[in-house]
Amino acid sequence: MKTLFCALFGLISFGLFGQSGSYEVVESNNVTNIEEYESAMDKADFDAYRYVAKRRVLQFDSGVVIELLSVEELEANGVTVDRSKAKVFDPNMKESSYVWKLAPNGYIIQQFEYSGKSKSRL
């Protein structure tokens, strides 16, 4: 009975805190390990990158493209999401287009482009 309770609690907590079902792989680019991307996405918390009513596109360095479902889509599907972290899409704002990478440890890394020190003239 104790084992059944622990297993049931584990399934419930995974459903509450996991990101499974909160994204869609739209381009696999013939990557042979797409399951590793899905596993990493299932563990990651992308609520702060979501839009309320629009999907956000994540472009990986390998060519994999994943769309984060909007908060409205997730709520309609009964998926728990922290709405307070989401952003409202503004077409007038320039969106930063980051490149993402699947790290060897199974985590997703956001890559930034660094162009060196800027020098100011006085």
3-state secondary structure 10-73: HHHHHHHHCCCCCEEEEECCCCCCHHHHHHHHHHCCCHHHCECCCCEEEEECCCCEEEECCHHH
* pLDDT of 14 higher than 80: no
The string of pLDDT tens digits covering residues 39-86 is: 999 999 999 999 999 999 999 999 999 999 999 999 999 988 889 999
| Helix (H) / strand (E) containing 75 | helix 71-76
Q: What's residue 41's pLDDT? A: 96
Confidence band for 12, pLDDT divided at 50, 70 and 90? very low
